Structure 1
Amino acid sequence: MYSSLIRLIANRFTRSTKKNGFMSFSRGVAFVSVALGSMALIIALAVLDGFDDALHNASAKFTSHIQVQTLNRTPIEHCEAVKKELQQTFPDIQIIEPVLQREALIRKRSMVDGVVIKSAPQHALGLESRKIIEGSAVNTSAAFYQVELGRKLARKLDVAIGDSVFLITTPTSQSLPTESVVKKFAVTGIYETGMAQYDDLYIYIPFQTAQRLFQTPTDACYSFDIWLNDINKAKHFANRMEMHLGYPYYTITIFDLHSSMFAWIEMQKQPIPLVLGLISIVAVFNIVTTLLITVVEKSRSYSILRTLGLSTGSMIGVILNQGAFIGLLGTVTGCLVGFAICWIQSTYGIIHLQGEIYFVDTLPITISFWHYVVVLAVSFGMSVLATLIPGVVAAKISPIAALRFK
């Protein structure tokens, strides 16, 4: 009974203020402020989670969970024996693969650039991480002089499928510059990972070709790339592997390798929602201002209602209904607009970024149901709580003084 009466009175007051131009404008500003605050929070949370997911997924695909190397970067002899030992000791290993890797120079006509030559992964996970956009992947079981380049590097060198490039390297880390080895390679594929720092640096050649180019023994490698069943256990198993293998081996996890990248996104996660949350707080105070003006404008009506027996709690309820309506409508509208913007960016990738700075080429978006739950609850809750201020002011109005004043 009382709740229906309170809603009826609140709706009447809301409709009556529409005839007042200033009051309509004030309510409109409050509504837009709440909507903008909610939209900003939704987009900010979606972008931050999008960056987090994109960086974790891209790095997890392109980089192994654990890398096992030697301190002086000398070749690991009896590579197959060490591989079997690790597989038997640590059953959580999903994939372990010997790797040959060396810094080098790549030349096409007069253009020269620094690269990292890496033996192409022979398992499906490695090929999946490198999305071949032109040509085909190198034949990992062959010893041909063929090479895969990243899209960005291919553009920089103006290289197309079928073109030839020269790779300049040294057979061992102790070799002198005069002992450089120059080999001609055919470009068979161009890949793209979505992370510019990889596409610009890494090139892939067959494992046997890398053995000949680096002049390493048949049963030797420079490191092991290891994928676990659970990436979150990488640090735990890395420490155990390092203790098990002993000197001169050491391990690097994916989190160590990309620590600056992950630290950057974590740093962004802390202040941005707080700063944008201030927008919602300001928007809530716009509701307070609007309702205080309404209380002043409708003080005679409130006094008459009090005279007719409307209780203090019911009076506060009338104000709460008006504030809750503005807050709910603004919050829902802001969430819907934010969802539309996030969906468009997630689907079409309209906003592009500089991969050298932001690690990804397009603005990543992650749409999460819980973002909307949190924003709706917090924004609407603050709107309702803030309306207690004008509600208490309206309840304290003396009916006699207000009627006399009018």
Structure 2
Amino acid sequence: MASYEFMIGLRYTRAKRRNHFISFISLISLLGMTLGMTALITVMSVMNGFHKEVRARILGVASHAQISSYEGSLYDWEKIGEIVVRNPRVAAAAPYIDAQGMLSHGNMVHGVMVRGILPTDENKVADFGDKMIMGKLDQLVPGGFGIVIGQELARNLNVFPGDKIVLISPQGQITPAGILPRLKQFTVTGIFEVGHFEYDSGLALIHLSDAQKLYRMAPNQVSGVRLKLHDMFEAPQLIQELAEVLPADLYFTDWTQQHSNYFRAIQIEKRMLSLILALIIAVAAFNIVSTLVMAVTDKQSDIAILRTLGASSGSIMKIFIIQGALIGILGTLLGLLGGMLLAYNVGDIVAFIEHVSNTQFLSQEVYYISKIPSDPQLPDILVVAVVSLVLTLLATLYPSYRASKVNPAEALRYE
């Protein structure tokens, strides 16, 4: 059976004929709490969605982890690959050669990062096969001197599959006329689009054996081995495990180190936006303080009567704590409901607004993420709910304490 403190506190939250203003302030506090939580949950979910989308696009062509050498090249990559794939965390491994070069077509010249790959193995650690918009990755064959480039790079050079382009290696060759760069003609066999400007405009893929010939490397020599994990978040633990079983002269990196600037910037932005929007909840909590202070002033005669009937100071304090807590709990629940509904449907809502207003918030010509992504995370939602409830309970302490100190004789003097 509910206590009388709860029943009175619940009754005080409802409108009274003699003072509608207090009820209006209570409603404002409730709406403030609801809107604050809805906005905070939605923004955090959208930031999580952007983080997930950027991570997926970067790691779709980059690797979860890499093994290379301090000397710049590996000679026993087959043996290293065999050892690595025995680890249960590793899904696949593929050799690669990274080098710089310049692509020339007509009067256009563009600097690129050249990556030598084995197409079959590369498809196991990256998503290039799924990102091809023209041609296929497996058209790269040994000795064919084919090349696959990004869509932005193809647009800058004005080339299409079948066109001939010249790859210029900065490693020169000595001739009677002096040191000259090495040139090799390649045929464009495919074009990919991963949705990340850095790769779409500056990455070129060629077969591993062709890269070894162009950059004068031995048949068993590569830059390193790229790894794909079953769980990308286990990459830091994996490289620690591999460092214990592989030679000491190897160099290990993972995606959290290679692309830390991107993810750190997104994380900082998420935290700052969350802090700013949390102020909305804080303002709503302060409104609860003003609501309860006015309620205590308005209910002094009621408090005095309860005290004369035997109610203790603690009971009076509980009544107003319950009144404020009910406002906060209801606002939190409504905010959770509104926030989750908006977070799970923000993409459709934004698309509808764009359709009605005939505008586009994220233009494909400017942003490579043209739709609003959303990824609601239960821990974030729970943190928002807990913070909201804590602020609400803290806001009730002073007005409730003030109510418990009301002197019955003074309150009833003019009644």
Scaled by the length of structure 1, the TM-score of the pair is 0.80
Residues 220-271 of structure 1 show CA distances to partners (whole Å, capped at 9, x for unaligned) of: 3233223456423243146447x7163xx54433333223234434544655
Question: What is the DSSP-based 3-state SS (H/G/I as helix, E as strand, rest coil) of the residue aligned with 2:63?
Answer: coil
Question: What is the DSSP-based 3-state SS (H/G/I as helix, E as strand, rest coil) of the residue aligned with 1:115?
Answer: strand
Residues 347 and 290 (structure 1 numbering): CA distance in 2 closer, same or farther, change over 3 Å? same
Confirm or deny that 1:203 pairs with 2:200.
Answer: no
Matched residue, 1:318 = 319
Whole-angstrom CA distance in 2 between matches of 1:174 and 1:70 = 25
Matched residue, 2:401 = 392
Confirm or deny that 1:372 pairs with 2:381.
Answer: yes
Note the C-alpha offset of 1:275: 4.4
Residues 254 and 237 (structure 1 numbering): CA distance in 2 closer, same or farther, change over 3 Å? farther
Confirm or deny that 1:105 pairs with 2:102.
Answer: yes
Residues 129 and 311 (structure 1 numbering): CA distance in 2 closer, same or farther, change over 3 Å? farther
Whole-angstrom CA distance in 1 between matches of 2:173 and 2:413 = 99
Structure 1 residues 16-95: aligned runs within 5 Å? 16-17=15-16, 20-71=19-70, 73=72, 76=74, 79=75, 81-85=76-80, 87-88=82-83, 91-92=86-87, 94-95=91-92
Question: Contact between 1:130 and 1:191, CA under 8 Å: does it hold in 2?
Answer: no
Matched residue, 1:179 = 181
Listed as ranges, the gaps of 5+ residues in structure 1 are: none
Question: Contact between 2:154 and 2:191, CA under 8 Å: does it hold in 1?
Answer: no
Note the C-alpha offset of 1:177: 7.2
Note the C-alpha offset of 1:314: 3.0
Structure 1 residues 6-405: aligned runs within 5 Å? 6-17=5-16, 20-71=19-70, 73=72, 76=74, 79=75, 81-85=76-80, 87-88=82-83, 91-92=86-87, 94-107=91-104, 109-120=106-117, 121-123=119-121, 124-128=123-127, 131-132=130-131, 134-139=133-138, 142-143=141-142, 144-157=144-157, 162=161, 164=163, 166-170=165-169, 172=171, 178-192=180-194, 194-227=195-228, 230-237=234-241, 239-240=243-244, 244=247, 246=249, 250-268=251-269, 271-345=272-346, 352=362, 364-405=373-414
Whole-angstrom CA distance in 1 between matches of 2:219 and 2:200 = 29
Whole-angstrom CA distance in 1 between matches of 2:375 and 2:168 = 42
Residues 165 and 71 (structure 1 numbering): CA distance in 2 closer, same or farther, change over 3 Å? farther
Matched residue, 2:356 = none
Letter in 2 for 1:26: I
Note the C-alpha offset of 1:35: 1.8
Note the C-alpha offset of 1:343: 1.5
Deviates more, 1:122-131 or 1:27-36: 122-131
Letter in 2 for 1:403: L
Question: What is the DSSP-based 3-state SS (H/G/I as helix, E as strand, rest coil) of the residue aligned with 1:16?
Answer: coil
Letter in 2 for 1:115: V
Whole-angstrom CA distance in 2 between matches of 1:185 and 1:348 = 45
Question: What is the DSSP-based 3-state SS (H/G/I as helix, E as strand, rest coil) of the residue aligned with 2:14?
Answer: helix
Question: Contact between 1:108 and 1:166, CA under 8 Å: does it hold in 2?
Answer: yes
Note the C-alpha offset of 1:290: 1.0
Aligned pairs, number: 395
Residues 42 and 174 (structure 1 numbering): CA distance in 2 closer, same or farther, change over 3 Å? farther
Question: What is the DSSP-based 3-state SS (H/G/I as helix, E as strand, rest coil) of the residue aligned with 1:179?
Answer: strand
Note the C-alpha offset of 1:119: 2.6
Residues 190 and 271 (structure 1 numbering): CA distance in 2 closer, same or farther, change over 3 Å? closer
Residues 93-130 of structure 1 show CA distances to partners (whole Å, capped at 9, x for unaligned) of: 54332213322223455444322121344234235366
Note the C-alpha offset of 1:327: 0.6
Letter in 2 for 1:285: F
Percent of aligned positions that are identical? 26
Whole-angstrom CA distance in 1 between matches of 2:349 and 2:132 = 18
Whole-angstrom CA distance in 2 between matches of 1:149 and 1:89 = 29
Whole-angstrom CA distance in 2 between matches of 1:7 and 1:155 = 70
Question: What is the DSSP-based 3-state SS (H/G/I as helix, E as strand, rest coil) of the residue aligned with 1:231?
Answer: helix
Matched residue, 2:355 = none
Letter in 2 for 1:398: N
Whole-angstrom CA distance in 2 between matches of 1:183 and 1:113 = 15
Whole-angstrom CA distance in 2 between matches of 1:214 and 1:20 = 85
Whole-angstrom CA distance in 2 between matches of 1:198 and 1:19 = 69
Question: Contact between 2:91 and 2:227, CA under 8 Å: does it hold in 1?
Answer: yes
